[in-house]
Amino acid sequence: MADDYKIMFVCTGNTCRSPMAEAGLRKLLDKKNIDDITVYSSGTAAASGYPATAYAIEAVRIWEADLTRHTSTPLTARLIEETDMILCMTPSHCEEVLRIQPEAGTKTFLLKKYPKPGCRGEGIDDPIGGSLEMYNRTFIEIGEELGRILDDILEKASRKKDLKP
């Protein structure tokens, strides 16, 4: 785990979008039997220890993923520092990562713009307070993005492993 490639998803409260992205990527990695990539999430305005929303838990079941044990985690400088790749749901999340740690610019991306760097572009809408249908649409959108970038993530993780002495 210490040498794993680390990916963190960031949203606001860490109870909807970033946990759904975390669960989705974990499921994709599990299907490929990849166990040297650590995936986690945090929120720019998250309190510690809150569960994923009921609809987020339900939405990820489309992929047979499980969020029932998720608890929210606030975004911190330490998390940013320890992470190899940071994927943000909106430009404001990206900007907050860089406000906390400006030198994280080379590893911080908007999920929908990856692999292009920077915080400008379209974000993933927040389904909080919405219907299960809204959560399902959000998870499908996240899943499409994860599918689009998976090969690049695997390549970057492999390169990190190859650089180890």
Q: Which residue has the tokens 């190899």?
A: 84
CB 31: neighbour CB atoms within 10 A? Answer: 10
Please choose, from the candidates 92, 68, 73, the residue with its C-alpha nearest in 3D space to the C-alpha of residue 83: 73
Which of helix, strand or coil describes residue 96?
A: helix
Omega of the bond prior to 115 within 30 degrees of 0, cis? yes
Omega of the bond prior to 74 within 30 degrees of 0, cis? no
**The tokens of 22 are what?**
């975390």
Q: Residue 8 pairs with which residues in a beta bridge?
A: 40, 86
Residues marked active site are found at 11, 17, 125
Cα–Cα dist 64/69, whole Å: 14
